[in-house]
Amino acid sequence: MKVQFLNLRKQILKIDKKIYSSIKKNIRKSQFINGSDVINFEKEFSKYLNVKYCLGVGNGTDALEIAIKTLKLNKNSEVIVPANTWISTAEAVVNNCLNLKFVDIDETHNICLKDFKKKISNKTKAVIVVHLYGNPAKVDQIYKICKNKNIKIIEDCAQSHGAEFRGIKTSTFGDISTFSFFPSKNLGSFGDGGCVVTNNKKYYFSAKKIANHGGLKKNSHLVIGRNSRLDNIQAGILRIKLKQLDKWIFKRQKQANLYYKLLSGIKQIEFVKTNKNTKSSFHLFVIRTKKRNQLKNFLAQKGIETSIHYPKTLPELQVFKKHFNYCKTMKAIKLNKQILSLPIGEHLQKNEIAYVCKNIKIFYNV
Ligand SMILES: Cc1ncc(COP(=O)(O)O)c(C=O)c1O
């Protein structure tokens, strides 16, 4: 049996006709930039999240850069970022000419509160909370810490579309939040895409200006901005996919429960912890094991694709080497050597998850 890590063709089999006709409609109307699908998607996605404003942009990295710029932080400000996330989260800080500070993670693979408190200095002006793997971070406690110190919160929800903390969707706790619609995300377009969301009207219009060459109208350039837009064809696709999102997340949750059930007896395996009262969107299903590389190779021989998110923590990367010294003893680095992402997603059936678990059990001889 072959178990694929990802198969986007399979994901859309039941909705592909709708998608093709949406693409055709936009080509016929020649509506490529700022069309009605963008406006409607922004409305529909903000309604889904229960957030006031949504701004479509070019991708999740742009969304982060624009969100940070929107906050207008002073030049020497420090922004705290978890040590294990996709590089964009940290890149966006550096590209805004701000100072980066890495914080350790806990067993949820999200920000460790204890280390967060230690890392805060009088220069700390913002934190980027990543809900890694779709697993919501402790937003309530992070909020409490930040509120007293006037630290802005940016939620990086690139992996957490539809994930919930106490029944509330991630992206609604911070001052401003960002999403990626990279094709493999739980809600993905057929190319690049992203958005910035906020409940703050001032931030929304400021982000809109930055993303549109510094102005809200044609030929108006009030600040130095950039060009970052979600195009109309992608927005049309996202509108169709958004209607499936909760169903897809539910399927992922059922698959995750099957993994928990079938793998829970294996002492050599640990699961990424979830916080109480949270609903992970299981963008990824990650386990930890000391024999990570051996298990990965064994599963590959059995036709099972796995992945690692991410092979190195950010302070271990050459570009961030000046941070390595204060990060070298971090739990993030230790846990990172043990992580393995197992296949999960709309393209898979129950028997395929069972096949993965059967082979993990064979590997461990249990
Ligand atoms: C946590 C995180 N932040 C930001 C991004 C950047 O998104 P994009 O690839 O759309 O620029 C990603 C994408 O993988 C991500 O996983």
**Inter-residue contact 131 to 159 (CB < 8 Å):** yes
Just give the CATH number of 8-242.
3.40.640.10
- Atom number, ligand 1, closest to the C-alpha of residue 180: 10
Tens digit of each residue's pLDDT (9 = 90 or more) over 108-152: 999 999 999 999 999 999 999 999 999 999 999 999 999 989 999
Residue type, 84: N
Cα–Cα distance, 337 to 312 (Å, whole number): 8
Fold of 245-364: Aspartate Aminotransferase, domain 1 (3.90.1150)
Assess whether the C-beta atom of 129 lies below 6 angstroms from ligand 1: no
Cα–Cα distance, 69 to 94 (Å, whole number): 11
Residue 255's pLDDT is 98
Q: pLDDT confidence of 101, banded at 50, 70, 90?
A: very high
Q: What is the mean pLDDT of the chain?
A: 97
Per residue in 9-22, is it b (16+ CB within 10 Å) or e — as a string?
A: eebbeeeeebbeeb
- Strands 53-57 and 194-198: what pairing? antiparallel
Query: If you measure from the C-alpha of residue 194 to the centroid of ligand 1, how many angstroms do you get, rounded to a whole number?
Result: 9
Q: pLDDT confidence of 1, banded at 50, 70, 90?
A: very high
Residue 250's pLDDT is 98
Nearest CA to ligand 1 atom 8: 60
Counting ligand 1 atoms within 8 A of each CB, the residue from 57, 61, 177 with the most, and so the one to mutate, is: 61
Residue 313's pLDDT is 98
Q: Which residue reads 């923590």 in tokens?
A: 313
Cα–Cα distance, 75 to 73 (Å, whole number): 7
- Atom number, ligand 1, closest to the C-alpha of residue 182: 10
Query: If you measure from the C-alpha of residue 188 to the centroid of ligand 1, how many angstroms do you get, rounded to a whole number?
Result: 11
Q: pLDDT confidence of 269, banded at 50, 70, 90?
A: very high
Whether the bond into 260 is cis, omega within 30 of 0: no
Query: If you measure from the C-alpha of residue 182 to the centroid of ligand 1, how many angstroms do you get, rounded to a whole number?
Result: 7
Residue 51's pLDDT is 98
Nearest CA to ligand 1 atom 10: 60
Pair of tokens at residue 116: 């967060």
Whether the bond into 310 is cis, omega within 30 of 0: yes
Tens digit of each residue's pLDDT (9 = 90 or more) over 201-258: 999 999 999 999 999 999 999 999 999 999 999 999 999 999 999 999 999 999 999 9
- Atom number, ligand 1, closest to the C-alpha of residue 194: 10
Same fold, 8-242 and 245-364: no
Of 28, 1, 23, the C-alpha closest to 12 is: 23
Q: pLDDT confidence of 35, banded at 50, 70, 90?
A: very high
CA dihedral in degrees (210, 215, 219, 223; nearest 10)?
-70
Domain ranges of the chain: 8-242, 245-364
Tens digit of each residue's pLDDT (9 = 90 or more) over 308-355: 999 999 999 999 999 999 999 999 999 999 999 999 999 999 999 999
Nearest CA to ligand 1 atom 7: 60
Assess whether the C-beta atom of 236 lies below 6 angstroms from ligand 1: no
For the chain, the residue count is: 366
